[in-house]
Amino acid sequence: MKVLAFDIFGTVVDWHGSIAREMAQLHPQVDGDAFALAWRAGYKPAMARVMSGELGWTLIDDLHRMILDTILPQFGLAHLGEEERRHLNKVWHRLDPWPDSVEGLTRLKKKFTITTLSNGNIGLLTNMAKRAGLPWDCVLSAEVFRAYKPDPATYLGVAKVFDLKPEEVMLVAAHHDDLAGARKCGLKTAYVERPLESGAKNPKDVSPRPENDYHCASLVAVAEALGC
Amino acid sequence: MKVLAFDIFGTVVDWHGSIAREMAQLHPQVDGDAFALAWRAGYKPAMARVMSGELGWTLIDDLHRMILDTILPQFGLAHLGEEERRHLNKVWHRLDPWPDSVEGLTRLKKKFTITTLSNGNIGLLTNMAKRAGLPWDCVLSAEVFRAYKPDPATYLGVAKVFDLKPEEVMLVAAHHDDLAGARKCGLKTAYVERPLESGAKNPKDVSPRPENDYHCASLVAVAEALGC
């Protein structure tokens, strides 16, 4: 194994908590928990519109904005102006890492090449990394492959970028559908438990599934499992 | 100015010296200076064949290999086998930085987002950075934009990736044609003197040209000029 590719939203950074915290500051009258969930809920349907051909190729920043414009009225924020919308939309660039992420990645980086493999666009991922101190060797994104996960072009694209066999690459993610897509392409897989990804009110089942090569409670645990 | 994009071959790393040194180790009977120059000389014509449509989109690793296969017989190395050719071709992943590069980039990174903007492919640039300690925030390449410099799609592509105006991006390079391409697109430009890029026997004129925003003797000098 030479390269570790990481899912980002939910796996390395805490989108729910970060958005809820920012909403509590900017718009304390809004239910930040429900707002974060509504925004994220629009994500897969929006990507599906692109992948079906209904929309042309679209960066996640632009999909996030389309969804934001849709949900603002539902939360009493229809009055927000262009500048406020632009700023709020970039909260996805300002997501905080889980407490173990920086240490885990820093340790893994000593032994492996570590890259993002996210549907987030390159600018978003780079801004996020700079703010959060995520020490990527490389920033790979759906934007590079012009396909969103779980399209095989993304997983196989990582192997191709590094001139490796699929089994020399491992996807690290907190989502079974993402890991299943990688496994079908021959990549190794590590599941990371993020039970509170969708907030304390919506804990998710993080019990192990035998199809993954590794099952870890954190990115530090991934580093320990891989001898880093 | 928010983002600094760096040319790599010749600007950040010493392709001539690195290849000559590796040849001196692997094949001491060969004139390493002439070999490095011959390999590099094939680079622009090979890219021109892609940009004219004669060849489909091709990674620089593959162009380097085509050129290598052409020049090996000229240097008495026609007998090299597949494994030796593959290894030698990856010398472009093992280029050494100029002595000022790591310090200059590390200082610049504190104030700016620093990215590669090279015709080299992503895997090459990532492997090089990991070996040489180049602390990129992001690895952008012709591979992302499916066009080689000086195609405007590459320079404007950097601004687009970061959702910036062209003048908020600066190209740092040791080559005037590259800087001219960037300037035409509205980017700022910094010329870096690398008088021995093509070896001690082929010093190049590095006198200042007024069209560049900055003229610096090294990447440390770029950092100083930008107050880092």
Regions of chain B short of the pLDDT cut 70: none
Write b or e for each residue in A120-159: b if 16 or more Cβ atoms lie within 10 A of its Cβ, otherwise e.
bbbbbbbbbbbebebebbbbbbbbbbebbbbbbebbbbbb
CATH of domain A3-14+95-225: 3.40.50.1000
Domains B3-14+96-225 and B15-93 share a fold: no
In CATH, B3-14+96-225 is 1.10.260.40:
no
CB A19 within 8 A of CB A39: yes
| Per-window interface: B 32-91 vs A, CB < 8 A | 61
Residues A161, B121: C-beta atoms closer than 8 Å: yes
Fold of A15-93: DNA polymerase; domain 1 (1.10.150)
Domain coordinates in residue numbering, chain A: 3-14+95-225, 15-93
Q: Which chain A residue has the Cα nearest residue B161?
A: A123
d(CA A145, CA A56): 14
When CB atoms are compared, the residue of A121, A129, A143 closest to B137 is: A129
What does the alpha-carbon distance between residue B143 and residue A160 come to, in Å, rounded to a whole number? 12
Question: Is there a contact between B162 and A126 if contact means CB atoms under 8 Å apart?
Answer: yes
Q: Do A137 and B143 touch (CB under 8 A)?
A: no
Chain B residue with CA closest to A133: the answer is B137
Q: Which of B122, B129, B137 is closest, CB to CB, to A161? A: B122
**pLDDT, one tens digit for every residue, chain A (228 residues):** 999 999 999 999 999 999 999 999 999 999 999 999 999 999 999 999 998 999 999 999 999 999 999 999 999 999 999 999 999 999 999 999 999 999 999 999 999 999 999 999 999 999 999 999 999 999 999 999 999 999 999 999 999 999 999 999 999 999 999 999 999 999 999 999 999 999 999 999 999 999 999 999 999 999 999 999
